[in-house]
């Protein structure tokens, strides 16, 4: 499809907004009602085993039956032809905003209060869907829209489950996205609204930490985590009330989670209200808490040291102790010598470096060849005095410095591409989904483009972006 195409003699496609494994969303214009709309076009060439037409129709009908502030309003659904091929389309309300996935990519973590509000609004929308017998089954940041007013819409009901409705996939298929899928979905058990709670709990965890609870390039490790491992503890700067909501949502057994998504939403809002009103930008960060603790300890230590010095002085010059000034100095020197005996080798080395005159670097010190460890690990001897040049003639290169030729990673999976780029010294690699019309369809997670292009020269600290093809029905994430 191209910009300017007229669908059903009514809806003009203006610009591409987003794309995915099942279809593309366009900014469009309704020429009859003179209003902007969103137009979702089913992607051509999908495998029939994925039941694309049935899923597309299900999404249209499901969304049409869901009303409320947490959903996108549906205006029309139909079919047209383009170049002799059938084109299925859904016309919907145009929502100006970004997905939660884009928001997290940009901000990494959200303040606890904002995270709880976003999760509460998503939970309220899911609760409305559950009460109508609809289970989403693929709740993830990419399927949560945050509009310009910072309000939430839950989208993409293409693989939702309707109570009493027919299954559109084989009974042994696991639907959902690996990082957010519930244990019961992995076990192919009964899937209820509790599965959406679990997925939303994983989304909340990512909002508060910057990553899902089970984050790995190894799908088996993710699956094992969902089935058997408690999620890692949340950071200390996450308020206890917010952490409690997430922990309960991520319980392995559905009956141990909230009694409904509505109850989860109320818990999120209660967690927001429990925060001190004097903190308008959210709870203290870990750095702020550490600074407060350090300030208290520093004050305590300072008082203790002053008191010790006063006592030492009184004892040294007291007429009753029988010691002269020189003897007091000897006593102080002995105490320092004794204290030195209790120091660790590292502390002694630090004192020696402070007191000793500056020395030139040893001729035997290994030269830095500029190589960078992709993992960022440095040899512990790099901080020793022998590695520090006293005359300034030589200087170690910082990690990931300098320029290098960008390798060609197209055709690899996103994870293979990341490893290849890391090995070449490019430590900042990000993956973004693209939308590619190829026959046959590329494999899931295949890198189709990259920026900067292969063969070009780029600084190793520069971000490299790989654009991959996503098969939504695969149910596994291509990003780390």
Could you tell me where the DSSP H helices lie in 84-239?
A: 100-107, 112-131, 183-186, 193-209, 219-228
86 Cα distance to chain centroid: 38
Q: How far apart, in whole angstroms, are the C-alpha atoms of residue 452 and residue 454? A: 7
Q: How far apart, in whole angstroms, are the C-alpha atoms of residue 250 and residue 245? A: 9
> Exposed, middle or buried, 208 (CB in 10 Å: 0-12/13-18/19+)?
buried
Contact 101/470 with Cβ under 8 angstroms? no
Angle between helices 286-317 and 325-341 (to 10 degrees): 140
Paired strand residues for 446: 413
> Exposed, middle or buried, 3 (CB in 10 Å: 0-12/13-18/19+)?
exposed
Q: How far apart, in whole angstroms, are the C-alpha atoms of residue 467 and residue 470? A: 10
Provide the strand spans (E) within 274-416: 403-405
Q: Is 419 a catalytic residue?
A: no
Cα dihedral sign for 20, 443, 139, 434?
Answer: negative
Q: Of 14, 76, 127, 138, which residue is the catalytic one?
A: 138
Indicate the pairing of strand 429-434 with strand 464-469.
parallel
Angle subtended at Cα 46 by Cα 414 and Cα 41, rounded to the nearest 5 degrees: 95
Nearest to 112 by CA among 284, 285, 282: 282
Q: How far apart, in whole angstroms, are the C-alpha atoms of residue 190 and residue 28? A: 39
Catalytic residue annotation: 138
């Amino acid at each position: 499809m191209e910009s300017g195409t007229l669908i059903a003699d009514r809806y003009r496609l203006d610009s591409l907004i987003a794309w995915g494994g099942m279809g593309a969303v366009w900014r469009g214009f309704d020429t009859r009602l003179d209003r902007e709309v969103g137009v979702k076009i089913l992607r051509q060439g999908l495998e029939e085993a994925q039941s694309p037409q049935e899923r597309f129709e299900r999404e249209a009908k499901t969304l049409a039956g869901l009303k409320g502030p947490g959903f996108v309003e549906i205006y029309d659904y139909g079919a047209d032809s383009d170049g002799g091929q059938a084109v299925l389309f859904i016309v919907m309300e145009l929502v100006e905003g970004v997905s939660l996935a884009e928001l997290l990519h940009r901000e990494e973590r959200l303040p606890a209060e904002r995270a709880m509000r976003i999760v509460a609004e998503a939970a309220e929308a899911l609760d409305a869907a559950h009460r109508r017998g609809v289970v989403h089954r693929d709740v993830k940041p990419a399927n949560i829209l945050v509009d310009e007013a910072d309000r939430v819409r839950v989208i993409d009901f293409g693989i939702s489950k309707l109570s009493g409705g027919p299954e559109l996939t084989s009974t042994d298929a696991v639907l959902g996205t690996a990082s957010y899928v519930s244990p019961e979905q992995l076990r192919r058990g009964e899937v209820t609204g509790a599965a959406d709670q679990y997925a939303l709990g994983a989304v909340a965890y990512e909002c508060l930490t910057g990553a899902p609870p089970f984050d790995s390039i190894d799908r088996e490790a993710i699956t094992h985590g969902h089935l058997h491992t408690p999620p890692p503890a949340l950071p200390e700067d996450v308020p206890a009330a917010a952490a409690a909501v997430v922990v309960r949502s991520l319980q392995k057994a559905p009956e141990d989670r909230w009694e409904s998504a509505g109850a989860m939403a109320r818990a999120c809002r209660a967690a927001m209200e429990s925060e001190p009103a004097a903190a308008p930008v959210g709870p203290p960060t870990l750095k702020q808490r550490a600074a407060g603790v350090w300030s208290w300890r520093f004050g305590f230590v300072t008082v203790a040291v002053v008191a010790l010095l006063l006592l030492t002085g009184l004892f040294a010059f007291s007429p009753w102790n029988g010691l002269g000034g020189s003897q007091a100095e000897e006593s102080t020197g002995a105490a320092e010598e004794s204290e030195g005996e209790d120091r660790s080798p590292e502390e002694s080395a630090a004192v020696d470096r402070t007191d000793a005159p500056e020395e030139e670097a040893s001729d035997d010190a290994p030269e830095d060849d500029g190589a960078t460890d992709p993992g960022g690990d440095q040899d512990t001897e790099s901080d020793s005095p022998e590695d520090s040049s006293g005359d300034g003639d030589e200087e170690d290169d910082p990690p990931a410095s300098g320029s290098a030729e960008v390798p060609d990673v197209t055709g690899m999976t996103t994870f293979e591409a990341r490893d290849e780029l890391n090995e070449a010294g490019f430590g900042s690699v990000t993956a973004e989904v693209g939308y590619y019309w190829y026959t046959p369809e590329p494999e899931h997670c295949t890198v189709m483009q990259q920026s900067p292009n292969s063969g070009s020269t780029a600084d190793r600290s520069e971000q490299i972006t790989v654009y991959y093809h996503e098969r939504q029905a695969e149910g596994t994430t291509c990003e780390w």
